[in-house]
Amino acid sequence: MGLVYRFIMIIRYNIKITGQVQGVGFRYSARNIARKYNIRGIVRNEPDGSVYIEAEGRKEDMDHFLYWCHRGPGAGRVDHVVFHEAPLRNFDGFNVTYF
């Protein structure tokens, strides 16, 4: 019987979330959820009132994270989530950043 190798697919998404997403704890909740799923990257508020996230991790963990992004924390409201795949950046941890 041969050896079975598991390939772990790591992906990165750039994510923009609009709605009532600033001033409701979105960034810190996103950081906590990302750390729960071992996702690395950054989250920040944008001048246009949206939240921007760069996140990378295992495909199945990213699916959980994106699901959460569509719901957000208890406070606030998510209207739209737009994301696209991007080249990996090999972040260390997941952090809230500022302009």
Q: With cut-offs at 50, 70 and 90, classify the pLDDT of residue 7.
A: confident
Query: What contacts 77, CB < 8 A, 6 or more positions away?
Result: 19, 20, 21
State pLDDT tens for residues 17-47: 999 999 999 999 999 999 999 999 999 999 9
The structural domains of the chain, ordered by start, are: 10-89 (3.30.70.100)
Please count the helices (runs of H) and the strands (runs of E) in the chain: 2, 5
Mark whether 45 is an active-site residue: yes
**What is the predicted pLDDT for the residue at 43?**
98
State pLDDT tens for residues 40-80: 999 999 999 999 999 999 999 999 999 999 999 988 999 99
pLDDT above 50: residue 1? no
Mark whether 71 is an active-site residue: no
Q: 12, 31, 40, 45: which one is catalytic?
A: 45
Query: What contacts 74, CB < 8 A, 6 or more positions away?
Result: none
